[in-house]
């Protein structure tokens, strides 16, 4: 329902007009009047523009003072921003339109806009438009605030609409996480061939129907990912030959149906700076490693599933002189075992 306009009485209007006239005459410079006492038109326009500007500032000040009477606007800025961080993107955009104070506070908090999460269901075109709008709002052109992108497909991708948007934004991404049914056997492979100069974290998770591993492209990021240090793969393997884009990776996690020594060899070859290794598998190959196997020197070794024998022994023994090393055996029904942490331990064998 539209509110009726506020009526100003004739007496109030006359008083207001008289006051404005007095202020106008006082504000016009004497030098602007001619011999007949008529002020120069340009001078009058300048003064009137100044009056309008002052009036707008007065209205803005009144609006701020009025808004501060609302209890939620008495919250400290950091509390308001923290509450907004739990809202979805569209609701956060609406919050910017509530008032000047909210717009000023929320738009200045970059962490509210640096992380983009999109769930793609059946309509990929709609998801692409939403993602493009988020990137336009969240990614400054100067790349001073790189973006984290979480992208989850309800189904395997069937069109290039979202893929093209992500491919054009690779230079702005700090973290990329993609979850879907099939990933590397789709046009998504093209995205992984684009240079990623700011990328620090890459998570690729697929749930294929076949137990065979999909392999990362040999020209991953065209060999240009100088900041990439965290890699997490699910049912995706590393190629036989080392990847230049992984030369600075220190934290590698991967999920496979069966973990084998050959995969550890590939991981060590592709990630020469590897410090933390996490292996998640339903089953493990417990055979002894080949004679030429060189176990990595790690700060942390986490195994999900079996923790007995084979290459795992070799990795633990290679790190026996670490100042901090221990193992937690999984309890019945538990899934994780971790090597890290107890001082004074010089040798440890997993049997």
- Which residue segment(s) compose the domain that 273 sits in? 134-339
58 and 180 in a single domain? The answer is: no
183 and 272 in a single domain? The answer is: yes
- Is 296 inside any structural domain? yes
The total number of structural domains that make up the chain: 2
- Is 86 inside any structural domain? no
From 16, 34, 69, the end of a domain falls on 69
63 and 184 in a single domain? The answer is: no
59 and 170 in a single domain? The answer is: no
Determine contact, residues 120/127, Cβ cutoff 8 Å: yes
Strands, E assignment, 191-331: 201-206, 214-215, 230-234, 236-237, 251-259, 276-284, 300-304
Q: Mean pLDDT over residues 109-130, rounded?
A: 81
User: Locate tokens 């190629």: which residue?
Assistant: 239
The pLDDT confidence band at residue 127, using thresholds 50, 70 and 90, is confident
How many other CB atoms sit within 10 Å of the CB of residue 56?
A: 10
Strand partners, 153: 120
- Is 178 inside any structural domain? yes
- Is 239 inside any structural domain? yes
198 and 323 in a single domain? The answer is: yes
- For 232-246, write each residue's pLDDT tens digit: 998 888 888 888 899
- Is 250 inside any structural domain? yes
How many other CB atoms sit within 10 Å of the CB of residue 301?
A: 25
Which structure tokens are listed for 90? 């569209």
245: exposed, middle or buried (C-beta count within 10 Å: 0-12, 13-18, 19+)?
A: buried
* pTM metric for this prediction: 0.70
Alpha carbons 199 and 232: distance in angstroms, whole number: 13
- For 51-99, write each residue's pLDDT tens digit: 888 888 888 888 778 877 788 888 889 999 999 888 887 788 888 888 8
147 and 49 in a single domain? The answer is: no
Three-state DSSP class for residue 231? strand
Alpha carbons 186 and 157: distance in angstroms, whole number: 7
- Is 123 inside any structural domain? no
- For 139-157, write each residue's pLDDT tens digit: 554 556 788 888 888 766 7
- For 274-332, write each residue's pLDDT tens digit: 888 888 777 766 566 777 777 777 777 776 655 555 666 677 777 666 534 444 444 44
49 and 161 in a single domain? The answer is: no
From 35, 69, 103, the end of a domain falls on 69
167 and 61 in a single domain? The answer is: no
The pLDDT value recorded for residue 197 is 92
Q: Is the pLDDT of residue 29 over 70?
A: yes
Contacts with 305 (C-beta within 8 Å, 6 or more apart), sequence order: 259, 279, 280, 281, 282, 283, 284, 335
From 34, 53, 69, the end of a domain falls on 69
Which structure tokens are listed for 40? 């120069």
The pLDDT value recorded for residue 7 is 65
The pLDDT value recorded for residue 280 is 78
- Is 104 inside any structural domain? no
Q: Which of 167, 147, 170, 148 is nearest to 157 (CA)?
A: 167
- For 184-230, write each residue's pLDDT tens digit: 777 888 889 999 999 999 999 887 666 667 888 888 998 899 999 99
- Is 100 inside any structural domain? no
């Amino acid at each position: 329902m539209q509110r009726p306009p506020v009526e100003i009485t004739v007496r109030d209007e006359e008083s207001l007009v008289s006051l404005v006239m007095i202020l106008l005459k006082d504000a016009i410079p004497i030098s602007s009047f001619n011999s007949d006492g008529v002020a120069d038109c340009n001078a009058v326009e300048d003064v009137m523009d100044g009056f309008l500007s002052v009036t707008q500032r007065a209205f803005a000040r009144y609006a701020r003072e009025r808004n501060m009477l609302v209890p939620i606007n008495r919250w400290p800025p950091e509390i308001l921003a923290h509450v907004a961080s739990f809202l979805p993107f569209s609701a956060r955009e609406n919050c910017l339109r509530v008032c000047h104070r909210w717009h000023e506070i929320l738009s200045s908090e970059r962490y509210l806009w640096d992380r983009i999460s999109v769930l793609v269901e059946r309509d990929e075109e709609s998801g692409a438009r939403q993602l493009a709008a988020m990137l336009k709002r969240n990614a400054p052109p100067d790349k001073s605030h790189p973006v984290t992108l979480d992208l989850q497909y309800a189904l395997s991708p069937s069109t290039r609409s979202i893929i093209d948007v992500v491919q054009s934004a690779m230079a702005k991404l700090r973290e990329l996480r993609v979850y879907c049914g099939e990933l590397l056997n789709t046009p998504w492979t093209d995205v992984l061939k684009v240079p990623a100069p700011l990328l620090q974290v890459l998570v690729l998770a697929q749930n294929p129907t076949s137990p065979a591993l999909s392999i990362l492209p040999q020209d991953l990021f065209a060999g240009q990912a100088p900041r990439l240090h965290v890699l997490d793969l699910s049912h995706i393997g590393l190629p036989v030959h080392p990847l230049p884009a992984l030369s600075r990776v220190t934290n590698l996690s991967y999920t496979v149906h069966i973990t084998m020594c050959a995969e550890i060899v590939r991981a060590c070859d592709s990630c020469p700076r590897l410090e933390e290794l996490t292996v998640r598998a339903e089953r493990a190959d417990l055979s002894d490693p080949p004679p030429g196997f060189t176990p990595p020197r790690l700060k942390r070794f986490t195994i999900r599933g079996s923790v007995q024998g084979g290459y795992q022994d070799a990795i633990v023994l290679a790190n026996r002189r670490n100042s901090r090393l221990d193992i937690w055996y999984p309890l019945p029904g538990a899934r994780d075992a971790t090597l890290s942490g107890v001082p004074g331990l010089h040798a440890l064998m997993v049997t």
